[in-house]
Amino acid sequence: MMKKIALIYMGGTFGCIGDPLSPMPAEQFIPKLQHVLPLHLEIECFTAPVIRDSSACIASDWLQLLEQIQQLERQQQYHHFVIIHGTDTLSYASAVLARVMGHSAHIVLTGSQYPLFNVHGTDNREFSDAIDNLNFALDAVVQAPAGVYLAFHHQLLHASTALKVHTTALNAFAGTESTQALTVDLHPLIVHEQYIEKARHFNCLSLMLQPISPELQHNNLKAIAEHPPHALILQGFGTGNFAVNSEIIALLQKLRQKDCAVIMTTQVPFGGIDQRYAVSQWMVDAKILISNCHSHADLYAKALKMYLQYDAVDQWQMHWHDESSN
């Protein structure tokens, strides 16, 4: 039996026309897209609830997309989904979908570095990676095991590991290939309107620490503490280290008292955080949350999911290891 695929368009370079580029309205783009879809697959096209430049996407946009996916699952028995999305925040969208959906469906996200159509939108662009990426994603979604993936330039990556590593190259993303085992214990989350509304207010700040004195580091953190976010991600050096003094530790504890979850990770793109060194003992003593995620985008997605489910940082601490990633 042929597996039916829901193809959801959420914008991005893929659907842009003109010079300079701007999105083609969805009601014009979808009919044109249908003409280039492969005939050997059963595909129905849908428009995402929110279509915008992906650099402007926020958590609530992806939750609305997830609500649409879950409704298509329940009401129309779709189990295979391909999402066309802009590349700027494609890794974040992929990670959020992976955290929320787990292995409950077959989902592949893709995009392109060049538009599908020419400047006037009258024909396929002479040089574009759009149709190759889309066809690869469509084939992958019916072949790969249940889960969430990112398809780009003939690579199928586990969504939670994907990282954009080049601004313009066709091979723009790196991560763990789908053929490699990835131990992920994720619990699907049913999206509802209260979550979407709450997500609109999610404030997350990721701070890449620089080699400056602890005194100056304290001053920077003090400015953040005046209006703390829901989650403060500290990107440390190497395996997750940075030099602290008693004032910094006290300030981080103060942030936690203000219901700001302080999370330690590494600014190194690949490899995890490691607490073998005594210099990291203060993190345990100060109850700093330690990232156990596959990527920066995955950590953002985990923080978002914790924020949606729990109202207090103490609850984050209690449930931080409920879901594991290895």
Percent of residues, the chain, with pLDDT higher than 70: 97
- The two beta strands, 173-174 and 163-164, are antiparallel
Main-chain phi, psi angles of 265, to 5 degrees: -140, -170
pLDDT at residue 142, rounded to an integer: 97
pLDDT at residue 242, rounded to an integer: 87
Averaged confidence pLDDT in the chain: 93
Final residue before a domain boundary, out of 116, 150, 185: 185
pLDDT at residue 278, rounded to an integer: 52
Asked whether residue 178 falls in the same domain as residue 207, the answer is no
The size of the chain, in residues, is: 326
Asked whether residue 315 falls in the same domain as residue 218, the answer is yes
Residues contacting 239, CB < 8 A, separation 6+: 266, 268, 271, 272, 273, 274, 275, 276, 277
Could you tell me if residue 67 is inside a domain?
yes
Helix or strand or coil: residue 135?
Answer: helix
Query: Quick check: 68 and 105 in contact, CB under 8 A?
Result: no
Query: Using CA atoms, how far apart are residues 185 and 208, in angstroms rounded to an integer?
Result: 28
Asked whether residue 8 falls in the same domain as residue 138, the answer is yes
**In this structure, what CATH number is given to the domain that contains residue 222?**
3.40.50.40
- Before 23, cis peptide (omega within 30)? no
Least confident of 74-78, 135-139, 190-194, 280-284: 280-284
Could you tell me if residue 104 is inside a domain?
yes
Query: Using CA atoms, how far apart are residues 134 and 140, in angstroms rounded to an integer?
Result: 10
Query: Quick check: 65 and 7 in contact, CB under 8 A?
Result: no
Q: Would you state the structure tokens that stand for residue 297, as one six-digit string?
A: 């985008």
Query: Using CA atoms, how far apart are residues 123 and 326, in angstroms rounded to an integer?
Result: 45
Asked whether residue 39 falls in the same domain as residue 155, the answer is yes
- Residue range 219-236: mean pLDDT, rounded: 97
Could you tell me if residue 190 is inside a domain?
no
Asked whether residue 110 falls in the same domain as residue 208, the answer is no
Could you tell me if residue 94 is inside a domain?
yes
Its domain, for residue 307, covers 203-325
Could you tell me if residue 195 is inside a domain?
no
Query: Using CA atoms, how far apart are residues 325 and 14, in angstroms rounded to an integer?
Result: 31
Asked whether residue 181 falls in the same domain as residue 207, the answer is no
Please name the residue ranges forming H helices in 231-295: 246-257, 281-285
- Tens of pLDDT, residue by residue over 39-89, are 999 999 999 999 989 999 999 999 999 999 999 999 999 999 999 999 999
How many other C-beta atoms lie within 10 A of the C-beta of residue 140?
Answer: 20
Query: Using CA atoms, how far apart are residues 321 and 300, in angstroms rounded to an integer?
Result: 15
- Tens of pLDDT, residue by residue over 265-314, are 999 988 877 655 554 778 888 889 999 999 999 999 999 999 999 999 99
Could you tell me if residue 192 is inside a domain?
no
Final residue before a domain boundary, out of 133, 157, 185: 185
pLDDT at residue 79, rounded to an integer: 97
pLDDT at position 252 over 80: yes
Asked whether residue 66 falls in the same domain as residue 153, the answer is yes
**In this structure, what CATH number is given to the domain that contains residue 30?**
3.40.50.1170
Query: Using CA atoms, how far apart are residues 68 and 73, in angstroms rounded to an integer?
Result: 9
Final residue before a domain boundary, out of 151, 185, 219: 185
Asked whether residue 73 falls in the same domain as residue 164, the answer is yes
Q: Would you state the structure tokens that stand for residue 107, as one six-digit string?
A: 């989902």
Asked whether residue 148 falls in the same domain as residue 207, the answer is no
Residues contacting 39, CB < 8 A, separation 6+: none
Residues contacting 261, CB < 8 A, separation 6+: 230, 231, 232, 289, 303, 306, 313, 316
Q: What is the DSSP string of 3-15?
A: PEEEEEE--SGGG
pLDDT at residue 274, rounded to an integer: 67
- Domain count of the fold of the chain: 2
Asked whether residue 208 falls in the same domain as residue 305, the answer is yes
- Tens of pLDDT, residue by residue over 81-129, are 999 999 999 999 999 999 999 999 999 999 999 999 999 988 889 899 9
